[in-house]
């Protein structure tokens, strides 16, 4: 059995991949693949609309929100958000909770006059932590507040939605569909697809309709939220195969019990791994408990000389892609929706054996 702990592109449900394989040469009895038909064909449009509806059902997206299937992955929204949602002379607020929000901040600086960092991760006696919202230095007149609820590289998460009175923009690339969310609390939610949705390159954006009016008229049309909303995300040719695969993942999610079931599963997997790390002096995680991610769990071996042996032995047992991000080092296990509980169990069993062998 192979378990793939990659942070992204990440593990997809095996049943979805098998269905895609079966349908590759003959989709819906057409005798050709889904990649070879026009995105304007009524059969394709039906599939695309069903995908949107399934996503709306899964996340209980209110009717006053548009759902877009866009290009450019998560990063394309780092520039699309400030251009679409803020005027060039605006002030925007950003929480800096790790690598991805830091990159988003630097991108926003190209498009708006003032990018205010409201807070950044700090070392505390309990580990790295996001300061409480009441300590954030919010601007008086921000066009929006941007944050990343789950920092994929750092393994840092903000588990509550900040209570502010400006539109909230969230980069949910590595946490979308992993748990229920109250979409009505957000102005914009965006996510690259390659963790919980489907293939990379595709992104999903959920935008409250009153925010659709583009603020900076030079915004690249492919990333113009209003144009894409008006044209059903088909201003230009979408990534038709990725959209199809996302549609299959949404169907799989519904059959598995939706985001509520995923939240239970994801909690259980994360608990297994954190317990394994916390109950040993051989492994450690440096994030304060309240800000620990359930999706991406970085951990270090007390003796980093053993890192390569750990990775090689894990790989030999079918536990793949556990090497930590180069900025953080050590290990990282990503436990997205498609990872079964048995995968997390196999990892902690291996970790216990590896520890015993080296004590």
Task: Just list the catalytic residues.
Answer: 100, 171, 195
Is residue 237 annotated as involved in ligand binding?
Answer: yes
At 192, is the secondary structure helix, strand, or coil? Answer: strand
74 annotated to bind ligand? yes
As given in the structure block, the two tokens for residue 187 are 């102005």
Does 155 bind ligand PMP (CB under 6 A)? Our answer is: no
- Smallest gap from Cβ 338 to ligand PMP, in A, equals 16
Closest CA to 339 of 101, 35, 57, 1: 1
Query: What are the beta bridge partners of residue 66?
Result: 207
Among 238, 224, 176, 270, which residue's Cα sits nearest to residue 76?
224
The two structure tokens encoding residue 100 = 């991805």
Binding flag, residue 74, ligand PMP (CB under 6 A): yes
Q: Give the list of residues 6+ apart from residue 124 with CB closer than 8 angstroms, or none.
A: 288
Distance CA 54, CA 255 (A): 11
Residue of 73, 82, 238, 330 that binds ligand PMP (CB under 6 A): 73
- CA neighbor of 13 nearest in space, from 203, 262, 225, 236: 262
Question: Binding to ligand PMP by residue 238, rule CB under 6 A?
Answer: no
Q: Is 290 in the site for ligand PMP (CB under 6 A)?
A: no
By beta-carbon proximity to ligand PMP, the closer residue of 204 and 276 is 204
Residue 353 assigned ligand-binding role: no
> Considering beta carbons, is residue 276 or 295 the nearer one to ligand PMP?
295
Instruction: List the one residue from 3, 4, 8, 355 that touches ligand PMP (CB under 6 A).
Output: 8
The structure tokens listed for 49 are: 């609309």
Q: Are 168 and 144 in contact (CB under 8 A)?
A: yes
236 is in an annotated binding site: yes
Place of tokens 């840092």: 156
Closest CB 332 distance from ligand PMP, rounded Å: 12
Distance CA 161, CA 163 (A): 6
One character per residue 75-114, x = contact with ligand PMP (rule: CB under 6 A): x------------------------x--------------
Q: Which is nearer to ligand PMP, 66 or 173 (CB)?
A: 173
Residue 292 in marked binding region: no
Options 22-30, 166-174, 220-228, 242-250: segment touching ligand PMP (CB under 6 A): 166-174
Binding-site string for ligand PMP from residue 188 to residue 227, where x marks contact by CB under 6 A and - marks none: ----x-------x---------------------------
67, exposed or middle or buried, with CB in 10 Å at 0-12, 13-18, 19+? buried
Nearest residue (CB) to ligand PMP, 70 versus 351: 70
Q: Cβ distance 288 to 96 under 8 Å?
A: no
152 binds ligand PMP (CB under 6 A): yes
Contacting range for ligand PMP; rule: CB under 6 A; set: 170-178, 179-187, 218-226, 245-253: 170-178
Query: Residue 265 corresponds to which tokens in the numbers above?
Result: 């599963």
If the CB atoms of residues 157 and 301 are measured against ligand PMP, the closer one turns out to be 157
Under rule CB under 6 A, how many of the chain's residues touch ligand PMP? Answer: 12
Taking alpha carbons only, the member of 185, 343, 180, 342 closest to residue 253 is 180
Closest alpha carbon to 249 in 208, 304, 193, 303: 193
Q: Using CB under 6 A as the criterion, which residues of the chain lie in contact with ligand PMP when the complex forms?
A: 8, 73-75, 100, 148, 152, 171, 173-174, 192, 200
């Amino acid at each position: 059995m192979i378990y793939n702990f990659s942070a992204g592109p990440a593990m997809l449900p095996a049943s979805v991949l098998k269905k895609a394989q079966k349908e590759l040469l003959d989709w819906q009895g057409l005798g050709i693949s889904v990649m070879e038909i026009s995105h304007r064909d009524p059969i394709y449009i039906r599939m695309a609309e069903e995908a949107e509806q399934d996503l709306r059902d899964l996340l209980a997206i209110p009717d006053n929100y548009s759902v877009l299937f866009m290009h450019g992955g998560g990063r394309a929204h780092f520039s699309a958000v400030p251009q679409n949602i803020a005027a060039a002379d605006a002030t925007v607020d950003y929480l800096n909770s790790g690598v991805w929000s830091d990159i988003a901040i630097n991108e926003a600086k190209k498009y708006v006059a003032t990018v205010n960092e409201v807070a950044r991760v700090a070392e505390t006696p309990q580990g790295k932590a996001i300061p409480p919202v009441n300590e954030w230095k919010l601007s008086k007149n921000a066009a929006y507040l941007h944050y990343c609820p789950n920092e994929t590289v750092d393994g840092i998460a903000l588990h509550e939605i900040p209570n502010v009175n400006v539109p909230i923009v969230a980069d949910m690339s590595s946490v979308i569909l992993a748990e229920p969310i109250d979409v009505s609390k957000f102005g914009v939610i965006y996510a690259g697809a390659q963790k919980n949705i489907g293939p990379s390159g595709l992104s999903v954006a959920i935008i409250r309709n009153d925010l659709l009016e583009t603020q900076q008229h030079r915004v690249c049309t492919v990333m113009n939220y209003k144009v894409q909303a008006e044209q059903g995300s088909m201003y230009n040719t979408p990534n038709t195969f990725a959209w199809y695969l996302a549609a299959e993942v949404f169907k799989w999610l519904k059959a598995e019990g939706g985001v509520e079931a995923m939240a239970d599963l994801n909690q259980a997997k994360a608990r297994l791994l954190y317990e394994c790390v916390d109950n040993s002096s051989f492994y450690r995680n440096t994030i304060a408990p309240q800000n620990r991610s359930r999706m991406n769990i970085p951990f270090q071996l007390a003796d980093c000389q053993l890192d390569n042996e750990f990775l090689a032995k894990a790989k030999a047992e079918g536990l793949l892609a556990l090497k930590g991000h180069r900025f953080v080092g050590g290990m990282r296990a990503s436990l997205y929706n498609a990872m079964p509980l048995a995968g997390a169990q196999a990892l902690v069993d291996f970790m216990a054996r590896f520890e015993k062998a080296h004590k």
